Amino acid sequence: MAYISNWVRYMAHKLEYSLTLSLKNHTQGRVIDQEVIGVVMKNLLYGRITYLHSIKGEGMAPTMGPHDNTLLVRKLPDVDTRYVSVGDVVVLKDPNETHKYLVRRLAALEGSEMVSSDEKDEPFLLKKDQCWVVAENKDMKSKEAYDSRSFGPVSLADIVGRAIYCMRTAVDHGPVSNSEFSMQEDSPILAVELDVDELAKDHKA
């Protein structure tokens, strides 16, 4: 029964993803009216809602190791506060080099008051569709961490996915600790699309 339940939930997520992606492409003029249903069915039948992403560096330690890490990332084609929560590890476009991607943890969402440890800085509210992301390594100084403390708030639209599984080494891997809501949402996707052998094959270390 658990297997059937996972598949039902997985297909519901896949249908939602396919519809969202197709409507987004239609709105942007990439898909004409007659193609929408075909694109939805193609994504539903053949597409995946995860992809592999490789990162290295000490910014996300201890969740991720300092050397090469291979992540299984859930695609998020249209991000708002219904799809991400504080505590999620997300993949986002680098605010300063948009062809590159960062992996950081969501620390705050729109409407949150941000207060600096530096008394000279005025508190401020995150605007609509803004979020605050942080590196996890507590041993790094804020200037070294390269997160919202250095580049400021980022747009939710710059988030492309949520990391749901991490392979640090061939013998050290497991689900990424996200918000409770997101981990429940992602569990059927992990059950269906996680292939540890594929992760190990892609892994460089």
Tens digits of per-residue pLDDT, 125-159?
999 999 999 999 988 887 788 999 999 999 999 99
- Band of residue 2 on the pLDDT scale cut at 50, 70, 90: low
Which H/E stretch holds residue 133?
Answer: strand 130-134
DSSP 5-69: HHHHHHHHHHHHHHHHHHHHHHHTTSS-GGGHHHHHHHHHHH--SEEEEEE-SSTTTTTS-SS-E
- What tokens were used for 148? 């919202």
Tens digits of per-residue pLDDT, 167-177?
998 889 999 99
The model's pTM is 0.91
C-alpha–C-alpha distance, residues 141 and 150, integer Å: 11
Tens digits of per-residue pLDDT, 76-117?
988 888 899 999 999 999 999 989 999 999 999 999 999 887
- pLDDT for the residue numbered 45: 80
- pLDDT for the residue numbered 129: 94
